[in-house]
Each structure stands twice: as C-alpha cells, then as structure tokens.
Structure 1
C-alpha cells in the first residue's frame, strides 16, 4: 500500500495548506495583503473554507485528485448552494512532487450563487446497509467532471474566485 493511501488525511491537509499558501502569495504579490481564510468548526454544510478577498466572499468545498486519477465525478452537499458564493475547487496534484495544478472549478462568479444542483443525480452511500442496499443520500448530489471549468494556474484560480468584473 502506498504512502498516498496510508496517509491520505495527512496528504489532504498538505494539499489544502499548499493551496492556501499559493493564494496568500498572490495576495501579497498584488499588494493587497487582504485575503482572509477561515475554517468552519463543524463540517456539515458542504464547505471546507471561507475565503474573502477583493470584495468577494467564497464558501469553498475542496476536492483533490492526483494527476492521472480516473475520478470522473464528485459528491457535493446541497447545503453548499445556500452558502454565499458557494463553489468547489478540485485540486489536481503531482503524486511525486505534490505540485498543484491544474484545477477544476464548479461555481458562479464572485458573489453569485452556485449553479442549481437539484437536477443532478442523488448520491448513494458507498456501503450497503444490513440487507446490502445502498441507500440514497438526499442531501448529496453527483457532479460529473464535465460540469467543472478547467483552470490551468493558481493565478487564474485566484481571479476566478475573487475578481469582480
């Protein structure tokens, strides 16, 4: 079993902190030094981070996959749609170097609602109940990779998240 499997929680935090670091660098370089990032105490509303910069607030759900991964969809909590400027950032990374990018983005423009998710398929539990039935998870939707916008660089991701035009 690889380190990526054995230490997946560690890796997820490492990728999250690397992304935050890259966004902080951009805020530093553009001279604003104004980006704020917060984490919810409880993770039950579909987002991992709250980010604010340049007049835009984002509730962000983070997803990660290594480059070359066969993951073709993500499960998202419908509560994310009720959050201000909710969005999903799917971070791809190099397995060997942990370098970030490209990124996939699902969301609206800064300060706009997340696209409606009600018509997306309802997710099911990954494990069956005592009878082997995988029950539906009414608060979760399946969003295919094709619904995400491809973003090549962290600078372009920053503009997508915060630039109000």
Structure 2
C-alpha cells in the first residue's frame, strides 16, 4: 500500500495548503496582497474554501488526482450552485514531488454562478447496503471531466477566478 493511500487525508490537506500558497504568492507578486482566504467550519454546502479578491468572492470545491490517474468524473454537491460564484477546481499533482498542475476548472466567470447541475447524473453511494444496493445521493451530481476547462498554470487559473486579464507569469 502506498503512502498516498495510507495518508490520504494528510495528503489532501497538504495539497489544499499548497494550492492556497500558490494563490497567495500570485497576490503577493502582483503587489496588492488583496487575496483573502477562509475555510468553512462545517463542510455541508459543497465547498472547501472561500477566496475573495477585490469584490470577487469564490466558493471553491477542491478535488485532486495524481498525474496519470484515471478518474473521469467528480462528485459535486448541488448546494454549491446556491453560492454566487461557486466553482470546482480539480488539481492534478505529481505523486513524487507534489508539484501542482494542470488545473481543471468547472464554473462561470468572475461573479457568475456555477453552470447548471440539473442535467448532471445523480451520484450513488460508493458502498452498497447489506444487499449490495448503492442508493442515490440526490444532493450530489457527477460531473464528467470533459465539462471542465483545463489550465496549465496557476496564473491562468487565477486569471479565470478573478478576471485579472493583465496578469502574466
């Protein structure tokens, strides 16, 4: 069993901190240090982070996969649609170095809502009951990888999140 399986929650937290660090670094380099980051106390509304820059507030659900992983869908809570500019960011990372990228993005432009989840497939529980039946999870939808936009750099993703078109690496 790999370290990634044994310490998956540790790795998840580490990836989240690396991501936040990269966003804060961009804000620092821009010279404005205007990015604010918050985390919810309770995880029941479909987002992991709240980031704000100059009036643009993003509720972000983070997902991660290692480079070369075969996951083709992500599960998204429908409550994320109730947030003004909710989005899903699917981070890829290198298993050995933990370097981040590329970045997949599912969401609208700055201050625009999450695209509709109405047509998305209703997710099912991963484990069956005593009869093996996997019940539907009516508040969770499966989003196909093809519905995400791909960005090779964190700077490109930052531009999309906050509509900063004059930012370059």
**Tell me, what secondary structure is at the counterpart of 1:59?**
strand
What TM-score, normalized to structure 2? 0.96
Distance of 1:142 and 1:27 partners within structure 2: 32
RMSD: 0.9
1:43 equivalenced with 2:43 (yes/no) = yes
Partner of 1:3: 3
Distance of 2:57 and 2:164 partners within structure 1: 11
Partner of 1:115: 115
Shift of 1:164: 6.0
C-alpha distance after superposition, 1:117-138 (max 9, x if no partner): 0110000001111221100000
Q: Is the 8 A contact 1:109 1:164 kept in 2?
A: no
Q: Is the 8 A contact 2:158 2:164 kept in 1?
A: no
Point out where structure 1 has 5 or more consecutive residues left out of the alignment. Answer: none
What TM-score, normalized to structure 1? 0.98
- Number of aligned pairs? 165
Distance of 2:34 and 2:85 partners within structure 1: 18
Distance of 1:145 and 1:99 partners within structure 2: 21
Q: Is the 8 A contact 1:54 1:163 kept in 2?
A: no
Alignment of 1:1-165 (within 5 A): 1-163=1-163
Point out where structure 2 has 5 or more consecutive residues left out of the alignment. Answer: none
Shift of 1:163: 1.4
Q: List structure 1 segments (4+ residues) > 3 angstroms apart after TM superposition.
A: none
Distance of 1:33 and 1:140 partners within structure 2: 35
